Structure 1
């Protein structure tokens, strides 16, 4: 029983990865169209010090945005800001500390941001971790669920009032949740979100990404129902050559290196759909979509379960205290 609980999520995740790689073998990466200038707009990008997050922050700043990079590595943050400013594309970038493994840190970040009196037009929930051995966040949540999903759930809810005030009809504020194809093989057990019955890092990661997609759809329904000028979409970046794969088994790491050079997307390519969702004219007023390689596509059947969406939302509110 234990072996199957660990083996099945592992096999399903790697089969999902192979399917994505086959797609990437025969399909070119999405090319960004010319995007409108974003002068005067403010964006928050989590995990924006490196990888896809940095490419997203860099591009948005290049469009004239004031980008706030949220992360827990101060030196990396300073280096990222310096690099963006050296490009001199007219935007502004700054780093604010936030540790997504701590709900207290998320609340402190939001308070610091709100004290600045800035508007907020774009929130990119990009930061994530993958295949971490069993451990908990500061608040006792399973690490993937806590960092990838729950902290972003809290962050989004605490910033919603600013997003609502900053948007207007014809120029909506935008929330972009960076999901993953692994959500297709994710299973969400509301009675064991911390996966204490039988831990699988593969299952935990897939669950956290499924939770993000469920959250995306439910939040958009609430925003639409309230008539608020805010949209929220989920983005699947594909398989991208970033540090996210550092926790692969040693054999998988060895096999990954040559494959990554041939088939993985670069961080800039991986970020392209996120940037598109955050800044393109085509996505104005469009919310509640799952975007892959620049196209609206179907997510998993589970992700459209309205009852599961509502139950997860209610459970998440209780867990984070909102």
Structure 2
């Protein structure tokens, strides 16, 4: 087995190669003049929860959903930013179309408290956008002892989604299906899942941890759709890859990558609004009514990595996530 430093270097190189490839694709699209937001019908009466909705892609997603007529619950762990986001969305829409609820995905207790508070509000739920995340941080642990990329990006959203499924089922019973949209990344294509060391305790690489968490989300989303299909729920689950977007997530990257972001971000990166187009498309496109189990990129269907489609890895990861979050595994036997 290669030494830890060599594995970390390999993971970093693979992540940056994927990033460069995505940026070149975005550059060509921009030069062709193909950057146009999707045209979507109004969505009056529908309620959405957007995690990480106070900034970056999440805020742009929340704004676009509110413009379509949805009522948006901004879920985040910074109350000041969250309330500022709500104020800006309300001012833009001219109505009380947004609210803030505190959610810290690094704490399973906070996830459970958020769900209790949302249910207590009496609102229906038609859309959950799993957007929040961290990127390539130095190793740290959540309140529950999980490596932070695994805990925040994957396990927090895993528990949140399962606890909100009853509300989503009710929301989808009135005609149109409810939707779960999980924001992914092309780095899932170079991600790996080590079931024996899910939390990176024996060897840690920030790049590998991030890519692995995005692979975990893809595995989760695809198995979730199998569960929904098996139960006949009027709820769909899809992945939405926003591309490489100019946000604050890149603050932990190698200094050279940050320099590219500062100097050429206007050309190679998508803006947060452009990055929101695919999640919003997944949330509201009529052609996706009742359609789940898809990986979407640039507002169109794409093929996820082969590892994401591995049913045995899906099963093992789901079972371990259930054990870690303390929920029953309803997919056993699927």
Q: Which interval holds the TM-score relative to the shorter structure?
A: over 0.9
- Judged with a 3 Å threshold, the aligned counterparts in structure 2 of structure 1 residues 42 and 254 are, in CA distance, closer, same or farther, namely same
* 3-state SS of paired residue (1:152): helix
1:21 pairs, out of 23, 39, 46, with 23
- How many residue pairs get matched? 322
- Cα 1:301/1:229, change in 2 over 3 Å: same
- Check the 8 A contact 2:66/2:93 in 1, yes or no: no
What is aligned with 2:266? 261
| Residue 260 (structure 1) shift | 1.1
Give 3-state SS (helix, strand or coil) of 1:56's partner: helix
Residues 178-237 of structure 1: CA deviation (Å, up to 9, x unaligned):
010000000011111101111000000000000000000000011011110000000110
Which residue of 57, 73, 78 maps to 1:68?
Answer: 73
Instruction: Say if 2:241 is the partner of 1:236.
Output: yes
Q: Give 2:331's aligned residue.
A: none
SS at match of 1:164: helix
CA distance in 2 between partners of 1:249 and 1:32 (Å): 31
- Summarize the Cα distance change of 1:239–1:225 in structure 2 as closer, same or farther, 3 Å threshold: same
- For the residues of structure 1 that align with 2:162 and 2:294, how far apart are their CA atoms? 19
Q: Structure 1: which 4+ aligned runs deviate by more than 6 Å?
A: none
Q: Does 1:168 align with 2:173?
A: yes
Whether the 8 Å CA contact 1:127–1:148 is kept in 2: the answer is yes
Tell me if 1:152 matches 2:169: no
Contact 1:62 1:90 in 2 (8 A): no
1:113 aligns with 118
Return the alpha-carbon distance in structure 1 between the equivalents of residues 302 and 35 of structure 2: 14
Shift of 1:259: 2.4
1:291 to 263, 287, 296: 296
Q: Does 1:130 align with 2:135?
A: yes
Which blocks of at least 5 consecutive residues in structure 1 are unaligned?
none
Deviations along 1:11-39, one digit per CA (max 9) or x if unpaired, are 10011111111111112465333322211
Q: Distance in 2 between matches of 1:104 and 1:2?
A: 33
Cα distance in structure 2, aligned partners of 1:7 and 1:266: 29
Aligned-pair distance for 1:57? 0.6
C-alpha contact 2:104 2:111 (8 A) present in aligned 1: yes
* Range moving further from structure 2, 24-33 or 291-300: 24-33
1:197 is paired with a residue whose SS is coil
Is the 2:37–2:274 Cα contact (8 Å) retained in structure 1? no
Q: State yes or no: 1:39 paired with 2:44.
A: yes
Partner of 1:209: 214
TM-score by length of 1: 0.97
Secondary structure, counterpart of 1:43 in structure 2: strand
Kept after mapping to 2: 8 A contact 1:173/1:230? yes
Counterpart secondary structure, 2:140: coil
Q: Where in structure 2 are there 5+ consecutive unaligned residues?
A: 328-334
Map of 2:230 onto structure 1: 225
Q: Is the 8 A contact 2:246 2:261 kept in 1?
A: no
3-state secondary structure, aligned to 2:5:
helix
- Aligned-pair CA distance for 1:89: 5.0
Residues 254-309 of structure 1, C-alpha deviations (whole Å, 9 max, x = no match): 23311212110000000001001001111111100000001101010101101110
Question: How far did 1:73 drift?
Answer: 0.7
Could you tell me how far apart the structure 2 residues matched to 1:52 and 1:41 are? 20
Alpha-carbon separation, structure 2, partners of 1:298 and 1:238: 14
Q: CA deviation at 1:116?
A: 1.2
Separation in structure 2 between the aligned mates of residue 163 and residue 31 of structure 1, nearest angstrom: 30
Query: Deviation of residue 40 (structure 1)?
Result: 1.2
